Amino acid sequence: MIRLKREIEVFDYAGEILKALPKGILLTTEAEDCINAMTIGWGTLGIEWGVPIFAAYIREGRFTNDLLQRTGDFTVCIPFGEKYAKAATKAIGICGSRSGRDADKLAQAGVTLVDADIVRPPAIKELPLTLECRTVFTQTQPIKNISDKFSKFYPQGVDSSNTGANEDPHVAYYGEILKAYIIEE
């Protein structure tokens, strides 16, 4: 089966991307032949330094953070259309509740990996709206600088192994969007 990628202007789809984000999208990484995806619900889309940027926020203790520190490349895979809605929901659930250190989440989700064009981490057919990104800036968010309003996201005494809120700060990864497309068949 030939997979076609229809290249898009990312900001023409900004509404769809931002609407999907709080429901969960996948961020995929790859290093040393280990492919991992995690569900993210926080991110931003914009322009910095004159280039399109997707910023993702990954806790320090996450396996995804380890992989991103090694390579800096990632894909953002977003549900789009109804064709794969059920498969996308399943993948988002699995990738948001387990660690890639302990399991091959993508195999458990039964998704189809598609080679990216520029970066190493693959795209995912079932989440076809894809952004290929290369990290251009990172910064750890100091918990002491975060408003008390959001302290519930950083409960002290809850270690990194907790897949939900824990004591780890987030690392902001600003990825230059090198290519954006929708996977079509």
Distance from the first to the final alpha carbon of the chain: 8
Q: Which one-letter amino acid corresponds to residue 139?
A: Q
CA dist., res. 120 & res. 73, Å (int): 7
**What's the CA gap between 98 and 185, in Å, rounded?**
30
Residue 147's SS3 state is: coil
- As a whole number of angstroms, the distance between CA 95 and CA 39 comes to 5
At 36, which amino acid appears? N
For residues 67 and 61, the answer to whether their CB atoms sit within 8 Å is no
Per-residue pLDDT tens over the stretch 139-168: 999 999 999 999 899 998 888 888 788 888
Q: What is the pLDDT of residue 166?
A: 87
Confidence of residue 184 (pLDDT cuts 50, 70, 90): very high
Give the mean model confidence (pLDDT) for residues 109-114. Answer: 96
CB 29 within 8 A of CB 68: yes
pTM exceeds 0.85, yes or no:
yes
- What is the overall mean pLDDT for the chain? 94
> How far, CA to CA in Å, does 61 sit from each of 57, 86, 101, 142, 158?
12, 29, 11, 14, 12
Q: What is the pLDDT of residue 4?
A: 94
Those residues whose C-beta lies under 8 Å from the C-beta of residue 103, and which sit 6 or more positions away, are: none
Q: Which has the closest alpha carbon to 34: 117, 109, 136, 102?
A: 102
The pLDDT value recorded for residue 162 is: 80
Residues 6+ apart with CB under 8 A from 84: 125, 126, 127, 128
